[in-house]
Chain A
Amino acid sequence: MTDLTHLTIAEARDGLKAKSFSATELAKAHIAAIEKARALNAYVLETPDKALAMAKASDEKIAKGEAGALEGIPLGIKDLFCTEGVVSTAASKILGNFNPPYESTVTRNLWNDGAVMLGKLNMDEFAMGSSNETSAFGPVVSPWRREGSNVSAGASGAIEGTHLVPGGSSGGSAAAVAAHLCLGATATDTGGSIRQPAAFTGTVGIKPTYGRVSRWGTVAFASSLDQAGPIARTVRDAAIMLRSMSGPDAKDTTCVDLPVPDFEAAVSRGVKGLKIGIPKEYRIDGMSPEIDALWAQGVEWLRQAGAEIVEVSLPHTKYALPAYYIVAPAEASSNLARYDGVRYGLRVPGKDIVELYEKTRAAGFGREVKRRIMIGTYVLSAGYYDAYYVRAQKIRTLIKQDFEKVYASGIHAILTPATPSAAFGIGEKGSADPVEMYLNDIFTVTVNMAGLPGIAVPAGLDAQGLPLGLQLIGRAFDEETLFAAGQVIENAAGRIKLPQPWW
C-alpha cells in the first residue's frame, strides 16, 4: 500500500470513497508521521484523540453514503483559528492556555464538510512575521535543506546546524504540508503570510478576495487586510479546501453574501484566450537573476498554453509596503488592545489597573508584536494621524486604482514572482533592522492592500535546490481564474519533489 500521507486531498477523497482505506487508517498514518517529526516544531498542539474520534465518525458517514466534501480528510489548523475546547494561542504567551468556548467559522465549515483535525500549527506570534521566528513556541524548522547542507536531526532529536525558515506567518502550516504531516492546512494572510511560506516550501497557497472567507473566530491582526485561505500540495487540493472554507456568514459583516463557486471545476479550464498582465514595476533593483528567469519561464508557459501576455503598469507598487507598515500596525494596535490581563490569558499583578495592563502586556507580547503595537499607537496618536495614517489610506486607494485600471483594460490576471528570494536561514534576516525582514512581502502585500485574490504556485528550484514560487493576482472574487492559471503552471513545472524525511 502506498504511504497514505503522500496522497493528495483529491486522491485521498477518491480512495476513501472506493473504500481502499478508511478515514481511521488515514488519520493514524498522519498521527504517526507527526510524532516522528516533532523536531520540526510544526505542530504546537497535537490532537490525536480528537482526530481518531472525528475519523471514526467519518468512516460511519462514508459507510452510510453521507460523506461530505472533505469527509475523513486530515488537516492541520493554524493556531490563529479558535477551536472549541482546544487551546488556541496565536503563538503568543499573552493568550496562555486560552480555551475557546466557540468554534471559528472557517473550522466549523471544515468540520461540517467532514474534515478531521490533527492539531494546531505553529506560526509567527499574532501572525506578525515572515519566518516563523517570532513564535512563543520557538521557530519552525523547514523540511527543506540547501544542497550539501549539514543540517540534521541529532541523537536527541534536536536539530543541528543552521536550518532554513519555512517562511511566515503560516510557517507551521507550510512546513506541515511540505513534510506530509497533514493533507492540507488552514492559514491566514495579512501581507503575504499564506503565499510567502507556500513559495518557501514548494506548496500551493491562496489568499482569497477580502470578504470571501469569514474572519469570525480567527484572532484578528489587521482586520481590513486579514483573510484566511488554504495551503496544500496541489492547485486542485487548494481549490477543494477553499470551497469548504468559504461562504457567507452572518457573524462577519465584511464577509460577502455571494455564492461559492465550484473552484475545483475551474482547475481544468486552462488559460486559452485569457490576457495575463506582467507588471513592469515588479522588476525591482537587485532582483536575483534566478527569480527573473523563473518569471520569464512562467510567462512562456502561460503563452504556450494559449494566454495573451501583456505588459502592464501598477505605478504605486513601491509604496504598498511602506503604506502597509502604517495601516497594519495601526489596526493591530487597536485589535490587540483587548489583551489586558482581565478577560482571558496572562495576568501580571500590579498596584493599580494601569500597572496591571502595562506589566501584563510587557510580559505577554514578544518583541515584534510590541514594536508593531507601538508604531501603530504612534501613527494614530494626536498630531500624527493625518501625516501617517490618513496619507497611507489615501495611498491604499491609489494602489487599488492601479489594479482597477489594469483589469478595466481587459486583463484577467497578473503574473509576478511570489518572493524576492528562496528561503533563508534562521537568524539571517531582520536582527539589526526590522525592515530587512519586511521586504519579504514586497510582491505579496499589494494584493492585501487592494483586497484582491492571490495564489502562489511552485514553479522551480534555485541553484541550491530550494523551491521558488510564482504568484498570480486576480480580479476581485475571481479565484477561479487563479486556479485555472495556477494549474497551467503546475502542469508545466511538474509537481515539486518534496523532501524525504531526514528529521
Chain B
Amino acid sequence: MSVDQKTVRRIAHLARIAVTEEEVPHLQGELNAILSFVEQLNEVNVDGVEPMTSVTPMTMKKRQDGVTDGGYADKVVRNAPATEDNFFLVPKVIE
C-alpha cells in the first residue's frame, strides 16, 4: 500500500501537524519508503495468533482508590505558556 498526497495532508491533519505544500512530496516519499519496508509482514501467516497486549505476563497492579498526590495546581501549570489563576489559557473554542 502507498499513500497519495491527499492522504499525506489528511494524516498530517489527524496528527495535528501543519505541513507546507513543499513538504508534502518529501513526506509522501518518506512515508511510502517506510510502508514499502513493512509490506513484507504480509508474507507471515498470522492465522490464529493472538495480538500481543502485554510483553511480560502480568496482572495489573491495583491499589485503593484514594487520593495519594496533588494539591499543587501552581506546580501543575508552572510550565504552561499561558495561564490565569491556575488555569491553562487557550483560544476561544466555543462561539
| Size category of the binding interface on chain B | 35 or more
Q: Given A342-B90, A347-B82, A451-B56, is A375 in contact with B46 using a C-beta cutoff of 8 Å?
A: no
Residue of B whose beta carbon sits closest to that of A384: B1
Q: Is the CB of A256 within 8 A of B41?
A: no
A53 within 8 A of partner (CB): no
Cα distance A319–B49 when bound, in Å?
A: 15
Q: Given A209-B56, A342-B80, A343-B88, is A374 in contact with B51 using a C-beta cutoff of 8 Å?
A: no
Question: Which residues 384-433 of A have a CB within 8 angstroms of B?
Answer: 384, 387-388, 390-398, 400, 433
Q: Is the CB of A361 within 8 A of B41?
A: no
Question: Which residues 16-70 of B have a CB within 8 angstroms of A?
Answer: 16-19, 27, 30-31, 33-35, 37-42, 44, 46, 49-56, 58, 60-61, 63
Question: Which residues 294-336 of A have a CB within 8 angstroms of B?
Answer: 316, 318-319, 322-323, 325-326, 333
Residues in A with CB closer than 8 Å to B19 are 362
Name B17's contact: one of A342, A349, A358 (CB within 8 Å): A358
Q: Is the CB of A253 within 8 A of B38?
A: no
B6 within 8 A of partner (CB): no
Question: Which residues 344-401 of A have a CB within 8 angstroms of B?
Answer: 344-347, 349-359, 361-362, 365, 370-371, 373-375, 377-378, 381, 384, 387-388, 390-398, 400
Q: Is the CB of B18 within 8 A of A377?
A: no
Residues in A with CB closer than 8 Å to B44 are 316, 319, 391, 395, 398
Q: Given A325-B34, A353-B93, A362-B18, is A398 in contact with B46 using a C-beta cutoff of 8 Å?
A: yes
Q: Is the CB of A398 within 8 A of B14?
A: no
Residues in B with CB closer than 8 Å to A340 are 16
Cα distance A257–B44 when bound, in Å?
A: 36
Q: Is the CB of A391 within 8 A of B27?
A: no
Residues in A with CB closer than 8 Å to B81 are 341-342, 344-347
Q: Given A377-B11, A434-B30, is A101 in contact with B75 using a C-beta cutoff of 8 Å?
A: yes
Q: Is the CB of B17 within 8 A of A365?
A: yes
Q: Is the CB of B56 within 8 A of A393?
A: no
A496 within 8 A of partner (CB): no
Residues in A with CB closer than 8 Å to B77 are 343
B91 within 8 A of partner (CB): yes
A476 within 8 A of partner (CB): yes
Q: Is the CB of A345 within 8 A of B15?
A: no
Name B79's contact: one of A209, A343, A359 (CB within 8 Å): A343
Q: Is the CB of B27 within 8 A of A322?
A: no
Residue of B whose beta carbon sits closest to that of A352: B91
A111 within 8 A of partner (CB): no
Q: Is the CB of A98 within 8 A of B63?
A: no
Name B56's contact: one of A326, A347, A352, A476 (CB within 8 Å): A476
Residues in A with CB closer than 8 Å to B49 are 394-395, 397-398
A-B contact pairs, 29 of them (CB 8 A): A98-B79, A101-B79, A250-B63, A253-B61, A256-B56, A316-B44, A319-B40, A322-B41, A323-B38, A325-B37, A337-B16, A343-B88, A344-B80, A351-B91, A354-B16, A358-B16, A361-B18, A374-B8, A381-B14, A388-B38, A391-B46, A392-B38, A394-B51, A396-B55, A397-B49, A397-B50, A451-B55, A451-B56, A476-B56
